Each structure stands twice: as structure tokens, then as C-alpha cells.
Amino acid sequence: MRIVLTGGGTGGHIYPAVAIGRQAQEQAPGTELLYIGTTRGLENRIVPKLGIRFEAVEITGFRRKLSLENVKTVVRFLKGVKRAKRLLREFKPDVVVGTGGYVCGPVVYAAAKLGIPTLIHEQNVIPGLTNQFLARYTDSVAVSFPDSERHFAKAKRTFYAGNPCATNVMRAQSDKGSASLGLQAGSRIVLVFGGSRGAKAINEAMLDMAPQLHKLAGVHFVFVPGEVYYEDVKRRAEQLPAYKSGQLQVVAYLHNMPDVLAASQLVVSRSGASTIAEMTALGVPSILIPSPNVTNNHQEANARSLVEAGAATMVLERELSGDRLFEAVSSMLNDEKKLAQTGKAALTLGMPDSAVTIVDELKRISKKK
Ligand SMILES: CC(=O)N[C@H]1[C@@H](OP(=O)(O)OP(=O)(O)OC[C@H]2O[C@@H](n3ccc(=O)[nH]c3=O)[C@H](O)[C@@H]2O)O[C@H](CO)[C@@H](O)[C@@H]1O
């Protein structure tokens, strides 16, 4: 099969696309992938590193209000459609997969107009603007939550598939994760990160609690502050005893997140959709700090669904401090039984077959060409 993947801006849109592509390659060796993104999104740095061919189209998002900027956006959208059509005619895909984010718009729209079968995947309960726009043109809409289907009333077909990142992490190897951090297999690891772009509030709380880390002897902290915050955080962390002793490690970005997740005993993170899908598939217990800056506060809803199942603890950002975070982390780590139960509960929410379901659908719609 020849597949075009598109989606971007943040990791939450990129990794589901990659996971679908990888699954298609596993099921049908020889499958060729082309990823179409923008040069400004994170995909421009992530995708080529994964060894997937990458091409760019330029596009900015629609604003919710009418403005001159929107007129410019329409012009750019049409230019994007033109460039996308050229790339699609050259690559001749059997199917085009969009996973949300602005870039998806012109690419999936162009494919539909060229008569190429298309599928979009929505990661959140309430769909983003681009996926809502595309729903009426696409052949199939895969949703991550049963509740989302009602938002796609104009779609030809919707189906519940979960988040394909869950399938991707099933290939993870915890020993490789520990080794990549310079640690022995079986080391006790706490991973701290704020989604694909990092989160200032989590970074500050982590730096604030760092002077107390010596109370958790034998536990190694892997701290990923996000690319834009990295230099500043690293400079401040270098002054701390936990950093000097090697107990605290600061990493700009993890390109092998599944392996590191699999090696972690506990995760402190935002509650973005893909992160949650990965943690539940692996059964990793977590302390979730939802971003308060997302549409419809959807990260808090994500986090609550885990908390209700006993699969995570939640700390709201307005209550967050170094002391509060240390208390949450130490109460988990000092209670082996609670840690194990939380991980087990997380596992019950995992959907490790998600990408398989989506690839089956791709096979079905690509035959209709
Ligand atoms: C602030 C914001 O708008 N967040 C949204 C964004 O989050 P964000 O882009 O943070 O998305 P997710 O938490 O869903 O996914 C992050 C992905 O990046 C990966 N990763 C992260 C850090 C790293 O160093 N290495 C790495 O590989 C994770 O393993 C995961 O696969 O998209 C999600 C999916 O639409 C939404 O649910 C989030 O609300």
C-alpha cells in the first residue's frame, strides 16, 4: 500500500499518524509512506528522524472570528491545496490519512477532490476545527472516544478505534529505554514531561521539588522540559545537588518515548490524548496535571476518566507547587501496593489494538478506488 500521512503542529497529532503508518508497514511489508506537514510544526523535526519521507506545504489555521487574516488564510489554504495535489499526483497514494492540525486541511481536501480514499483520526472527545471541516469530504472518521461520533453528523462513516499510539507502544522495550538513559535494566525511574512541547508550570514545580529528591534514594528522575524551555531549565538544574549526583537528568526531547515510558515506574505529565493512550496501553501509573489552556478543558476530562478508574492521580495546575508534587510522587513511590494497583487499573483502559482496527479500515476504503 502507498500511504500519505498528514497532521501536525504538536506531537499529539503527529504520533498517531506515524503509529498508523508503522502498523500498515507491519501488516503489509513494502508499504510506502510519505508524510506531508509544515516546516513550522514539530513534525518537520520529528518525522525525518523516524526515517519517514517528509514534504512540506504551508498553511496557517482559521481564526474563530472573521478577519483579514482569515482572507489570507483562505488564500494560503488554496495554495496548500494546489501544492498538495501536485505531491499527491506524484506519489500516487492508495489512501490518505489525516490526524488533525491545520496542515491536514489542504492535504485531505485535495485528496478527496482527486478521488483518493481518505480517513481522518480524531484524538480528542470534542473534535478540532480542521477535522470538523474535513468530515464531510472524507470516506471515514476514526474516533478515540465513543462520545465523539455525534460531533461528526456530516461524515459518511465514523467508527470507534481508540488512539493508535497505544499499538505503537506495545513494541516498546524497557531495557532499551533504561540503557538509552545510561541506566541499568530495572532501575526505578520517574519520568516528568509536559506533553510534546513541555509545560512551564510542570517545569517550575519539578525544579522546586528537586531539593527534596534525596529523600527518595534510588529513584532516578528523567525530566523533559520541552525544547523551548530546555536551555533555561538545564542551566537552573545544574546548580542542584540532585543533578550533580546524577539522580536528576534533564533531556531536551525523547525520540524514543515508548521505550522510556515502558522503563518508567511512574509518570508525571499533562493529560494529552496520545500520552494517555500510551500510558494506559503499557499500564504505567501517573500523576496528571491537565493543561488549563486547551479547548473545552478537555485535558481535565481526560485526566478525570483515568482518576475515576483508579488509573492515575490528578493535581490541578492551580494547586501545583514543588511541595504538592513531591507529596504526590512520594506517596505513590512509598506505597508499592498502590503503585501496582494504579498501573493495573491503567492497563484495563488501554486499547492496544487501535492501529490494527484503523489499518483494517484503510484496506477496506482503499479497495473502493
Ligand atoms: C497544549 C495542547 O494543546 N495539548 C494538546 C496536544 O498535546 P500534545 O501534543 O502534548 O499531545 P499528546 O499528549 O496527545 O501527545 C504527545 C506525544 O508526544 C510524545 N512525546 C512527548 C515528549 C517527548 O519528549 N517525546 C515524545 O515522543 C508522547 O509520547 C506522545 O505520543 O494534542 C493532544 C492531541 O490532540 C491534545 O489532547 C492535547 O490537549
- CATH number for the domain that contains residue 8: 3.40.50.2000
Q: Are residues 218 and 72 in the same domain?
A: no
Task: Report pLDDT for 60.
Answer: 63
Residues 85 and 173: their CA atoms lie apart, in Å, by 39
Q: Are residues 77 and 184 in the same domain?
A: no
Which residues have C-beta atoms less than 6 Å from ligand 1? 10-13, 15, 123-124, 165, 193, 195-196, 224, 253-254, 257, 270, 272-275, 278, 291, 294, 298-299
Q: Are residues 150 and 182 in the same domain?
A: no
Which pLDDT band holds residue 125 (cuts at 50, 70, 90)?
A: confident
Q: Are residues 35 and 144 in the same domain?
A: yes
- Per-residue pLDDT, averaged over 60-71, amounts to 66
Neighbours of 314 (CB within 10 A): 18
Q: Are residues 153 and 203 in the same domain?
A: no
Model pTM? 0.95
Which pLDDT band holds residue 284 (cuts at 50, 70, 90)?
A: very high
Which pLDDT band holds residue 369 (cuts at 50, 70, 90)?
A: low
- Per-residue pLDDT, averaged over 183-207, amounts to 97
Question: Contact at 8 Å (CB) between 6 and 97?
Answer: yes
Residues 64 and 34: their CA atoms lie apart, in Å, by 31
Task: Report pLDDT for 308.
Answer: 95
pLDDT tens per residue, range 215-245: 999 999 999 999 999 999 999 999 999 999 9
Task: Report pLDDT for 296.
Answer: 85
Q: What is the CA(241)–ligand 1 centre distance, in A? A: 30
56 compared with 73, residue with greater pLDDT: 56
Count of domains in the chain?
2
Q: Are residues 159 and 263 in the same domain?
A: no
Task: Report pLDDT for 346.
Answer: 97
Q: Are residues 97 and 110 in the same domain?
A: yes
Q: Are residues 182 and 293 in the same domain?
A: yes
Average pLDDT of the chain, as a whole number:
95
- Per-residue pLDDT, averaged over 14-36, amounts to 97
Q: Is 249 helix (H, G, I), strand (E, B) or coil?
A: strand
- The continuous run of DSSP H or E covering 181 comes out as none
- Per-residue pLDDT, averaged over 81-97, amounts to 97
Cα separation of the two ends of the chain:
13
Q: Are residues 161 and 177 in the same domain?
A: no
Lowest mean pLDDT among 288-302, 309-323, 352-366: 288-302
Lowest mean pLDDT among 64-68, 149-153, 282-286, 338-342: 64-68
**Position 76 pLDDT exceeds 90:** no
**Position 64 pLDDT exceeds 80:** no
**Position 213 pLDDT exceeds 80:** yes
- Per-residue pLDDT, averaged over 170-188, amounts to 97
Task: Report pLDDT for 65.
Answer: 63
Which pLDDT band holds residue 62 (cuts at 50, 70, 90)?
A: low
Question: Contact at 8 Å (CB) between 189 and 222?
Answer: yes
**Position 350 pLDDT exceeds 70:** yes
- The continuous run of DSSP H or E covering 95 comes out as strand 95-98
**Position 362 pLDDT exceeds 90:** yes
Task: Report pLDDT for 360.
Answer: 98
Residue nearest to ligand 1 atom 36, measured at CA: 272
Hey, which residues does 34 pair with through a beta bridge? 4, 53
Which of 105, 112, 119 is CA-nearest to residue 76?
105
Report CA Rg, the chain.
21
Q: Are residues 152 and 227 in the same domain?
A: no
Q: Are residues 30 and 155 in the same domain?
A: yes
Q: What is the CA(217)–ligand 1 centre distance, in A? A: 30
Residues 46 and 269: their CA atoms lie apart, in Å, by 20
- Per-residue pLDDT, averaged over 187-204, amounts to 98
Q: What is the CA(215)–ligand 1 centre distance, in A? A: 31
Q: Are residues 295 and 267 in the same domain?
A: yes
Cite the annotated binding site for UDP-N-acetyl-alpha-D-glucosamine by residue number.
10-12, 124, 196, 299
Neighbours of 49 (CB within 10 A): 10
**Position 319 pLDDT exceeds 90:** yes
The range of the structural domain enclosing residue 76 comes to: 2-168+352-366
